[in-house]
Amino acid sequence: MLTVENLHVSWGNLEVLHGIHFTAEEGKTTVILGPNGAGKTSTMKAILGLAKITGGSIRFNGVDITHMSTKERILQGIALCPEGRQIFPTLTVKENLEIGGYLRSDQAGSPF
């Protein structure tokens, strides 16, 4: 389960997320909707540790990951499948998804 509480994110001096809350439960689909500039990508980058979190917390499977490095979050099992322009164009869809788990030695949870 992923729990985001009162998340604030900044790019430089500009705060772009102002205290969002949501829970994504295992086995269920969670969707973040909004127009361009609403903070969807900033939210996802914050969860992966690629954006500056200035407030709030992120918990994954009961573990506070708010201050973990991106590598530590990946090792916890968090991954991001970026939109089309940021994938490896010579790889298949399956290969692009598999490469996201390259740090996992156990392949636990892999559908492939």
Q: What would the mean pLDDT of 16-20 be, rounded to a whole number?
A: 94
Question: Which DSSP string do the residues of the chain spell out, in sequence order?
Answer: -EEEEEEEEEETTEEEEEEEEEEE-TTS-------TTSSHHHHHHHHHT-SEEEEEEEEETTEE-TT--HHHHHHHT------GGGS-TTS-HHHHHHHTTTT-SS-TT---
Strand order of the β-sheet with 63-64 is 14-24, 2-11, 52-60, 63-64
Q: What is the pLDDT of residue 33?
A: 92
Tens digits of per-residue pLDDT, 26-52? 999 999 999 998 999 999 999 999 999
Q: Can you tell me the distance from the alpha carbon of 18 to that of 27, in angstroms, rounded to the nearest whole number?
A: 28
pLDDT at residue 20, as a whole number: 95
Does residue 95 surpass a pLDDT of 90?
Answer: no
Backbone torsions φ then ψ of 99, nearest 5 degrees: -65, -25
Domains of the chain with CATH codes: 2-80 (3.40.50.300), 82-112 (no CATH)
The residue ranking higher by pLDDT, 93 or 105, is: 93
Place of tokens 């102002």: 18
Residue 112 has pLDDT above 50, yes or no: no
